Amino acid sequence: MEEWEYKMIFELEEFKLEKIESKDLNKILEIYNSNGEFLINHMDKSVVTEEWIIQELKYMEEMDFKSCKIVERHTENILGIIDFKIDEETYLSLLMIHKDFQGNGLGHIIYQGFEEYIESLKGKSIRIDVVTNYDSSVLKF
């Protein structure tokens, strides 16, 4: 994976977004596989492999997307992932929280921080992909 100019994307009071590194692959794999319904409905598979994660990260980088981990600041625990491409219309491809941490507002907090980050870069709009055929709370979000 190519090095970005900086590791940190942005920080919030309790969380930070940082570039995914090779040492994070097991945790990223765990996050994807904790979201089995998403995998089945969006990708037609029940689990992904480390090789798939590596290829996905490589593909996203080739397409100029940033793949980041969502890190809880006081524990350094990785709670989720976010993939996005900054452009005139920023494209939020993925915001995924580990199943164990869903339903407590974390996704909302991260999205609000992401929106502020994009506004600080003078972004005009954000396009979001939403997979809705498996969980009605996703659309409400």
Question: Is 76's pLDDT higher than 70?
Answer: yes
Question: Is 66's pLDDT higher than 50?
Answer: yes
**β partners of residue 82:** 68, 95
Q: What are phi and psi of 92, to 5 degrees?
A: -95, 105
> Which top CATH class is 8-133?
alpha beta
pLDDT in the model for residue 7: 60
Question: Is 6's pLDDT higher than 50?
Answer: no
Q: Which residue has the higher pLDDT, 71 or 7?
A: 71
Length of the chain: 141
Residue 42, both tokens: 């969006």
**β partners of residue 94:** 83
Residue 34 CB neighbours (<10 A): 17
Q: Nearest CA to 66 among 95, 38, 43?
A: 95
